[in-house]
Copies of this chain bind each other. A is one copy, B any other.
Amino acid sequence: MSTPTGTRRSDGARTHEAILEASARLASVEGINGLTIGRLAEELGVSKSGLFAHFGSKEALQLETIEAAKEIFDREVVRPALEAPPGLPRLEALFEAFFSYLERGVFPGGCFFAGLLADEDARSGPVHDRAVHLEREWIDFMEQLVREARELGHIKKDDDVEQLTFELYAYLELANYHFVLFRDPDALELGRVAAAERLSRALTEPRRSPTNHR
């Protein structure tokens, strides 16, 4: 009946985290601004003020929700990619982890950060600023993987890293929006094919199945 000493997180911390995961799921559908304390409290079956006491302000809830979503994204997309060997395999693992994360509906509203990008792009304030910072980090991360693939001789040096990364990222992003909007896995397939073909065009050596197009 006593709390096991092996328990690292207190009940309070676990509750806090559970709230934030629910908040991130809700925000992926309603948007980080459509998120309200009342609606979240209702979803969790707690009182509004009880929930509010965890955060102190709506803005703090929004910012903490973003960090919780980042933890989930890292766990579901970034870390699986980092388990693959550097270079081309890691890049391919990143894309596959991303599409899998969409397919599995980790967030019911699709990629949390695609939603955040669109919700906050034209606004200003701390939430916008955080969105800018995280988007920059994500682009830098992808560019680093592309650069590694290039330095390992997996992909050619005549593609500009920033440009190639932009194009690959664009496929992920549009695949996400269309997958959610149309509720149709075909959108993911378009994204997968686009990324695979763009990468295959950048390879130094053609693959065992050396199709360039289609």
Contact = CB atoms under 8 A, between A and B. Distances in A.
A182 B193 CA distance: 28
Interface in A167-209: 167, 169-171, 173-175, 177-178, 180-182, 190-191, 193-194, 198
Interface residues of A, number: 47
A132 interface: yes
Contacts of A87: none
Interface stretch (A15-23, A40-48, A89-97, A108-116): A108-116
A88 interface: no
A162 to B, nearest CB: 7
A179 to B, nearest CB: 8
Interface stretch (A25-33, A76-84, A141-149): A25-33
Contacts of A30: 33, 123
